[in-house]
């Protein structure tokens, strides 16, 4: 009885409100409230397992928090338990789009720590490998970015070129994807004439296909509308939040480790550091496009200048001997055994060595305590640093621009999550 009487009372109140014209029923304006959108980690445009929490006002991004760690495999911990040589294959899995560049970076760091220098031929081949990896990575970046803003064709064209590059890597390193090509003090195998011819064929043909992509995108109305003026970041802020690589150069900062502190043989090769001043998605696209042609230039010069000679340093106690000699000579057998089981024992100390990887400054900080395994190995991954600027870039943009901005930063989560 009591419930029905209460119900009647409520209903009568509501009716009274409805009849009374001076009473207002206030409903919150839905457009005045923020909406929080969870983007990823399985979103196709987040380039892997990046998760973004985006706070929206209507369609405008008010705030954005990247969450990561979905691909965290603990490589720094693994490094502490493996010898220096054992860690080289793990670097393939960091930035899996350009594994040779990672191999070169880790090997240079180890060589610096142990005081080894690779012979000139090996250094030239490393340069060639790293630059081809850069082309491969930039093709992926541009293709994926174009697909994110709706241009499917470019993605397929870019992948056609990458397929040719994979064939080149196959000849050069023996594998297509996870190359593990470098060794401490040199490289795994020499570049044959057949490989050299294949690389030459690729760099001869590549500018034509590069131009096709340019024709498709550079003055494409839709592409320009989606990228020009989107995700702008200026150079000063970029430096402050730790932008690196092509993303930094697109904001007008001329910083490239290949000229900043020339490693390998970059000081003997002539190339330009590409910069753009706008700092938007289109500028980042343009920097990558132009850098690919510079890489072609570098590879061509390196192929011309490459000297004959050994591909491994002559330091028997540090550098793995040739396999034929291991099977036939006692001395080499002993060295092989000790290097593989014990490691190369660099003297105690700490170093930081970085190269201009495909995404930016790829550095390794290694601390040795004199044993065969690194005491601490820190990977300074460019994707991680670039992602830190993402909240700044997307603030005030539309929700659909977030996709274009992520594409223009080109993060690889294998590298960002380590």
Partner 1 sequence: MNAKKSWWNNPIMKEKIEEKLRAAFGEDILTVAEHRDELTVEVKRDRIAEVCRFLKEDPELSFNYLSDICGSDMLDFEDLSSRKSYLAVEHEHRPEPVPNEERFEVIYNMISLENKSRIRLKVKVDGENPICPSITSVYKSADWYERETFDMFGITFEGHPDMRRIYMPEEYEYYPLRKDFPLMGVPGSIPLPRK
Using CB under 8 A as the binding rule, whether residue 395 contacts partner 1 is answered as no
Q: Which of 58, 150, 349, 396 binds partner 1 (CB under 8 A)?
A: 349
Quick one: three-class SS letters along 121-150? HHHHHHHHHHHHHHHHHHHHHHHHHHHHCC
113 vs 281, which CB is nearer to partner 1? 113
Q: Which of 68, 104, 203, 339 binds partner 1 (CB under 8 A)?
A: 68
Using CB under 8 A as the binding rule, whether residue 167 contacts partner 1 is answered as no
Q: Which of 384, 401, 402, 411 binds partner 1 (CB under 8 A)?
A: 384
Q: How far is CA 37 from CA 42, 85, 246, in A?
A: 14, 44, 29
| Close Cβ partners of 118 (under 8 Å, ≥ 6 residues apart) | 107, 111, 126, 185, 186, 187, 312, 313
Cα 163 off chain centre by: 19
Using CB under 8 A as the binding rule, whether residue 386 contacts partner 1 is answered as no
Q: How far is CA 131 from CA 175, 343, 400, in A?
A: 17, 29, 33
Using CB under 8 A as the binding rule, whether residue 354 contacts partner 1 is answered as yes
Using CB under 8 A as the binding rule, whether residue 415 contacts partner 1 is answered as no
Using CB under 8 A as the binding rule, whether residue 150 contacts partner 1 is answered as no
Using CB under 8 A as the binding rule, whether residue 367 contacts partner 1 is answered as yes
Counted residue by residue, the chain has a size of 418
**Residues 102-121 interacting with partner 1 (rule: CB under 8 A):** 112-113, 115, 117
143 vs 360, which CB is nearer to partner 1? 360
Q: Which of 373, 393, 401, 407 binds partner 1 (CB under 8 A)?
A: 373
Q: Which of 197, 222, 342, 396 binds partner 1 (CB under 8 A)?
A: 342
Q: Are 356 and 287 in contact (CB under 8 A)?
A: no
Half-sphere exposure of 196 (CA within 13 A, CB side): 14
**Residues 305-324 interacting with partner 1 (rule: CB under 8 A):** none
How many residues bind partner 1, per CB under 8 A?
54
Q: Which of 35, 273, 338, 398 binds partner 1 (CB under 8 A)?
A: 338
Using CB under 8 A as the binding rule, whether residue 417 contacts partner 1 is answered as yes
The Cα angle at residue 139 between residues 134 and 143, in degrees rounded to 5: 155
Ramachandran assignment for 48, one of left (phi > 0), alpha (psi -120 to 50 degrees), beta (any other): left
143 vs 363, which CB is nearer to partner 1? 363
Q: How far is CA 292 from CA 156, 182, 203, 211, 311, in A?
A: 17, 23, 10, 11, 27
**Least Cβ distance, residue 371 to partner 1 (angstroms):** 4
Structure tokens belonging to residue 79: 């490094």
Q: Can you name the residues that pair with 186 across neighbouring β-strands?
A: 183, 312
105 vs 253, which CB is nearer to partner 1? 253
Structure tokens belonging to residue 90: 């793990």
**Least Cβ distance, residue 66 to partner 1 (angstroms):** 9
Q: Are 189 and 173 in contact (CB under 8 A)?
A: yes
**Least Cβ distance, residue 316 to partner 1 (angstroms):** 18
The Cα angle at residue 149 between residues 145 and 153, in degrees rounded to 5: 75
Contacts 24+ apart (CB under 8 A), 266-270: 266/127, 266/298, 268/305, 269/127, 269/298, 269/301, 269/302, 269/305, 270/297, 270/301
Q: Are 181 and 190 in contact (CB under 8 A)?
A: no
168 vs 366, which CB is nearer to partner 1? 366
**Least Cβ distance, residue 51 to partner 1 (angstroms):** 12
329 vs 380, which CB is nearer to partner 1? 380
**Least Cβ distance, residue 378 to partner 1 (angstroms):** 4
Q: Which of 148, 291, 336, 361 binds partner 1 (CB under 8 A)?
A: 361
Give the sign of the dihedral formed by CA 198, CA 266, CA 252, CA 358.
positive
Quick note: the x/- pattern for partner 1 over 242-281, rule CB under 8 A, is: x-x--------x-x----xxxx---x--------------
Using CB under 8 A as the binding rule, whether residue 74 contacts partner 1 is answered as yes
Separation CA 418–CA 413 (nearest Å): 8
What is the binding site for partner 1 (CB under 8 A)?
Answer: 68-69, 72, 74, 76-78, 80-81, 112-113, 115, 117, 237, 239-242, 244, 253, 255, 260-263, 267, 337-338, 341-342, 349-354, 361, 363, 365, 367, 369-373, 375-376, 378, 380, 384-385, 388, 417-418
């Amino acid at each position: 009885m009591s419930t029905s009487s209460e119900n009647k009372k409520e209903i009568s109140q509501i009716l009274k409100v409805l009849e009374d014209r001076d009473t207002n029923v206030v409903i919150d304006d839905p457009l005045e409230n923020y909406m929080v959108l969870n983007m990823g980690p399985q979103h196709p445009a987040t380039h892997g397992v990046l998760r973004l929490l985006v706070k929206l006002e209507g369609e405008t991004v008010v705030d954005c928090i990247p969450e990561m760690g979905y691909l965290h495999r603990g490589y720094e911990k693994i490094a502490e338990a493996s010898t220096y040589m054992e860690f080289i294959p793990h670097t393939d899995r960091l930035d899996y789009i350009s594994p040779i560049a990672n191999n070169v970076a880790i090997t240079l760091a180890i060589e610096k720590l142990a005081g080894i220098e690779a012979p000139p031929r090996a250094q030239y081949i490393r340069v060639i490998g790293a630059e081809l990896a850069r082309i491969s990575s930039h093709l992926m970046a541009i293709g994926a970015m174009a697909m994110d803003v709706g241009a499917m064709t470019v993605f397929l064209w870019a992948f056609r070129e990458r397929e040719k590059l994979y064939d080149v890597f196959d000849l050069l390193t023996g594998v297509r994807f996870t190359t593990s090509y470098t060794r401490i003090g040199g490289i795994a195998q020499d570049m044959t004439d057949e490989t050299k011819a294949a690389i030459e064929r690729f760099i001869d043909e590549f500018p034509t296909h590069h131009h096709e992509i340019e024709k498709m995108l550079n003055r494409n109305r839709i592409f320009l509308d989606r990228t020009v003026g989107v995700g702008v970041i200026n150079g000063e802020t970029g430096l402050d939040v730790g932008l690196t690589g092509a993303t930094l150069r697109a904001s007008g900062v001329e910083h490239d480790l290949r000229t900043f502190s020339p490693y390998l043989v970059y000081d003997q090769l002539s190339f330009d550091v590409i910069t753009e001043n706008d700092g938007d998605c289109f500028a980042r696209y343009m920097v990558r496009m132009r850098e690919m042609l510079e890489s072609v230039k570098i590879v061509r010069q390196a192929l011309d200048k490459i000297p004959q000679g050994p591909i491994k340093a002559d330091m028997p106690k540090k550098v793995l001997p040739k396999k034929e000699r291991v099977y036939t000579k006692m001395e080499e057998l002993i060295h092989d055994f000790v290097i593989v089981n014990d490691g190369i024992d660099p003297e105690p100390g700490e170093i930081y060595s970085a190269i201009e990887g495909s995404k930016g400054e790829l550095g390794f900080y290694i601390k040795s305590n004199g044993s065969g395994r690194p005491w601490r190995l820190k990977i300074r991954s460019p994707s991680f640093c670039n992602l830190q600027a993402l909240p700044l870039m997307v603030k005030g943009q539309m929700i659909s621009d977030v996709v274009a901005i992520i594409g223009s930063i080109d993060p690889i989560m294998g590298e960002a999550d380590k």
